[in-house]
């Protein structure tokens, strides 16, 4: 079954929105800090049970899927017709949006993975020999920033896909006109030859 450009667009948007929603929920569920419990020369940080780490990894996974589908959607042979990549990258606008979408996706990935891994480390390494520790959690705002960049990345891939569609149409129009022009030249040349010989 052939995939249409509309289906690719819906898939990119859906994956980006899910990543955004999960990132925002992770930001809201993240505790401000843990509770320090003092022992003999150590402080054990007790953190409330929350789904922040799981939500962070899920948001990252959906972001990667969105970027992957967005990337593939640019070069996918819709209706069985493929376009050389050089044709797409000939457009400066397409090239700019393509690179911005990649950069935005990479930045979103960084902002989602950084607090997720940090939070996981805080939860697993909760015994501190520094008595004055405050039982920190991942920096506030990173999940939210990553979530918004994830949504931005999906939107940029959609814009890039529209630009790719325009480039594809122009390319196929050029091929069609070149084919008609070639046939027309052959007809006129043969008719000229026949007139000259008669």
Question: What average pLDDT does range 124-146 have in this prediction?
Answer: 86
Q: Which residue would you say has higher pLDDT here, 119 or 83?
A: 119
Q: How far apart, in whole angstroms, are the C-alpha atoms of residue 6 and residue 8?
A: 5
Rounded Cα distance between 185 and 180, Å, is: 9
| Residue 198: per-residue pLDDT | 41
Number of domains in the chain: 1
Q: What is the pLDDT of residue 186?
A: 42
Q: What is the pLDDT of residue 192?
A: 42
Mean pLDDT score of the chain, rounded to an integer? 86
Asked if the model's pLDDT at residue 80 lies above 60, the reply is: yes
Range of the domain at 84: 5-197
Position 182 confidence tier, pLDDT thresholds 50, 70, 90: low
Q: What percent of the chain has pLDDT over 90?
A: 50
Question: Does the pTM of the predicted model rise above 0.75?
Answer: yes
In the predicted structure, residue 196 carries a pLDDT above the cut 80: no
Averaged pLDDT, 73-86: 85
Q: Which long-range contacts (CB under 8 A, 24 or more apart) does 72-80 make?
A: 72/8, 73/5, 73/8, 73/9, 73/11, 73/12, 73/157, 73/161, 73/164, 74/98, 74/160, 74/161, 74/164, 76/3, 76/8, 78/2, 78/3, 78/4, 78/5, 78/168, 79/2, 80/2
Tokens 């991942």 -> residue: 138
**53 touches 137 (CB < 8 A):** no
């Amino acid at each position: 079954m052939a995939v249409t450009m509309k289906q690719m667009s819906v898939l990119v948007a859906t994956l980006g929105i899910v990543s955004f929603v999960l990132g925002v929920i992770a930001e809201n569920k993240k505790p401000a800090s843990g509770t320090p419990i003092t022992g003999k020369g150590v402080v054990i940080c007790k953190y409330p049970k929350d789904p922040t780490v799981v939500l962070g990894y899920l948001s990252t996974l959906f972001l990667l899927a969105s970027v992957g589908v967005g990337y593939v959607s640019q070069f996918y042979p819709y209706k069985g017709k493929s376009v050389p990549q050089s044709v797409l990258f000939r457009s400066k606008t397409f090239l700019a949006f393509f690179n911005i979408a990649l950069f935005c996706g990479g930045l979103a990935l960084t902002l989602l993975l950084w607090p997720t891994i940090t939070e996981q480390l805080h939860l697993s390494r909760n015994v501190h020999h520094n008595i004055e520790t405050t039982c920190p959690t991942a920096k506030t705002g990173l999940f939210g920033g990553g979530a918004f960049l994830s949504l931005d990345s999906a939107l940029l891939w959609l814009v890039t896909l529209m630009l790719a569609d325009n480039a594809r149409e122009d390319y196929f129009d050029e091929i069609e006109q070149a084919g008609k022009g070639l046939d027309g030249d052959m007809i006129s040349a043969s008719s000229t030859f026949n007139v000259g010989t008669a």
